[in-house]
A and B are shown apart, each in its own frame.
Chain A
Amino acid sequence: MIYESFVDLFGNEILAMFLSGAMPLTFILIFVLFAVLFERKVSAHMQDRLGPMRVGYHGILQTVADLLKLIQKEDISARDNDKILFNVAPALVFAGSYAAFAAIPFTSTYIGSNIDLGLFYIVAASSLVVAGILMAGWASNNKYSLLGSMRAAAQIVSYEIPTMLVILAIVMITGTLNLSTLSEMQTGYFWNWIIFGGPNFGIDKIIFIPLMIISFIIIYTSSLAEVNRTPFDIPEAESELVSGYHTEYSGMKFAMFFLAEYANMFAVSAIVSVLFFGGYQSPFGYLGKTLDLAWLIPFEQLFWFTAKGIFFVFVQMWLRWTLPRLRVDQLMTACWKYLIPIAFVNLLLIGIITIL
């Protein structure tokens, strides 16, 4: 484990903890640099455009240039803002999405904090984001921001329910809330992934597959809503609310929201991949195992973990640039009248099968 080796290296637990905790931050920052460019390129190629082409080869350094621009920008704050809340909100939103990374296992050797209530903790931590968004909307003292943040709060809170129901179903099968254990269970080949019925063979594996696919669709849909991506980007609906709760923010504070959004996108993708697609586990066994190189395995795991995460982030982008957005009441209808009942029935069926 990386934390233990840090302790051995520095002989200081606090320093080791700090370094170990900062690792996801490095990961997030690098990921965001990549993801922003990736999103622009994906959208451009979907729309018959080239996207950024000027900064570096095919615009590779575009995000860096954007970041430099954002750092230089004036930090505007309107007269009637609630100053304290206005300044705290972006930090809180980012903290919420960063905190979720603490319980996600990146490889079998690295997890920020190997707590047994990992899944529960992530759901709780990401609720902090709602508070931050509400604060931002309220403190901006702008009608559009307020409308945006109210919508965001309603949406995120509602969509947490189907997410929780699906997580509950997974917990019923696997009997653990620990993401590390969950990933460990799905080792071996891809048919051991939970979406393919989990690691144990038998008749229930086949019965589980359709139910798992339904669960996956539910959790992925609601995760889209939780990160405010199209078709659920109503809080930021630019054609209606300009840009929702972060309309009044500029410069680095805006960048914080932006960072949080992309970090969140990866976080939900990572959770989905841990829950259904084996997390960091390779689908075809490890090269390190065949070649007898133990040090290679964590790197392979990191590769698979990132690849799966980026794949689901890509799907989010793909949906964003294809679909129109729902209306606020249709969004609530979709959640309360369709997703939640289906998730309940799904939970019930899985429960019955597990008992039998």
Chain B
Amino acid sequence: MALKTEEMILNMGPQHPSTHGVLRLELELDGELINKVKPHIGYLHRCFEKHAEAMTYPQVIPYTDRMDYLASMGNELGYVIAVEKLLGIQIPERVEYIRVIMAEFQRIASHLVALGTYGADIGAMTPFLFCFRDREKILSLFEMTCGARLLYNYIWIGGVSHDLHPDFIRLAKDFVVYFRPKIKELNDLLTNNKIFIERTANVGILPAETAINYGITGPNLRGSGVKWDLRQNDSYSIYNKFDFDIPVGNGLFGTKGDCWDRYNVRVLEMEESLKIIEQALNQIPDGDVSSAIPKRIKPPVGQVYSRVENPRGDLGYFIISNGSLNPFRVKVRAPSFVSLQAMDILCRGHLVADIIAILGSIDIVLGEIDR
């Protein structure tokens, strides 16, 4: 008679150092092999969407900051673009440039956290602190612009809250010069490290087909080799004025769509963001940043869906207006939420240690998943 065997159920999280917030993963283990992963979410649920219905349109902006708290500027930009579409207002050229500069700085800052914590997950602490050191410089630029370091409430409907500080452009250019060698440093220290490659290549392979079927976007989709970036494919703001590439994963050290590819896409994207920032800093026109801000925001009855390319993927806002001061409904399509669904298929058949590598590589932010 065969022995009756039982699978070990291990709860990882919600208080676990590597779940990137308060995520609980229910693991079905066969020894150290993973049979099934079941993510349990909702520990950070703050009723953002319901809350928004009781707020006026500008009051929603600080709440969007708190969704993907590592990419607040991107969240604001998405929301503001949606409302502006609903209002049908034109905004000054200078505001568009400022928004793009901020969004791209935010992308670098967000990717730095993603890459740094990923290094820490794999066991390399030093890249983590290097990344945070560089992110600090970006946060200082933000602080100089709007006074806040994490939750900005900076991009407003029709404009931005403050014009750039007189020194901003000089310091931002300095940062671009400073940061390029730092990407190389990160590559030397972590990206091309043999142990790091061993840990991440051929782990958590996400085929392009599966990624598209799941609706995964952002660096996770591009890591699977699909060239899809809303900044070019469905251009918004003034992204069509800039010249930049869309890096995709190519399976350099393993299979296309493995953890290393997703990681590397983020590294390359930082380079591209620097290109955009450099061009925008050189072209930025003068002008008034608050002239187009409406006194009273009361969009006509209607609905709008608008999406932007956030550091974590395609962030969509669906807003229904009933003609009052408050939105009737705000629905967010959060990229991390979609990416997390792939956890199970990515992890099956891997070892416990790989869960950390896979979870880190899809780079979720729980604030955005739970909202």
Chain A residues at the B interface, C-beta cutoff of 8 Å: 43, 46-49, 143, 147, 230-231, 233-234, 237-240, 242, 321-330
Contacts and interface: CB of A to CB of B under 8 A. Distances in A.
Nearest to A144: B10
Interface residues of B, number: 30
B261 interface: no
Given A47-B130, A231-B195, A239-B120, 18 more contacts: A47-B126, A48-B130, A143-B8, A230-B123, A237-B123, A240-B18, A240-B355, A242-B16, A321-B125, A321-B126, A322-B126, A323-B195, A324-B122, A324-B123, A324-B199, A325-B122, A325-B199, A329-B351
B133 interface: yes
A239 B125 contact: no
Contacts of A325: 122-124, 195, 199
Majority SS at the chain A contact face: loop
Given A47-B130, A321-B125, A327 B120 contact: no
B124 A324 contact: yes
A327 B129 contact: no
B352 interface: yes
B193 interface: yes
B247 interface: no
A153 B103 CA distance: 49
B198 interface: yes
A120 B199 CA distance: 35
Given A47-B130, A322-B189, A239 B32 contact: no
Interface in B231-245: none
Contact of A49 (B17, B129, B193): B129
B68 interface: no
A47 B129 CA distance: 6
Contacts of A327: 198-199, 351, 353-354
A323 B133 CA distance: 19
A147 B355 CA distance: 15
B119 A324 contact: yes
B196 interface: yes
A239 B128 CA distance: 13
B356 A240 contact: yes
B6 to A, nearest CB: 14
Nearest to A328: B353
Contact of A326 (B32, B199, B352): B199
Interface string B180-192: 0000000001100
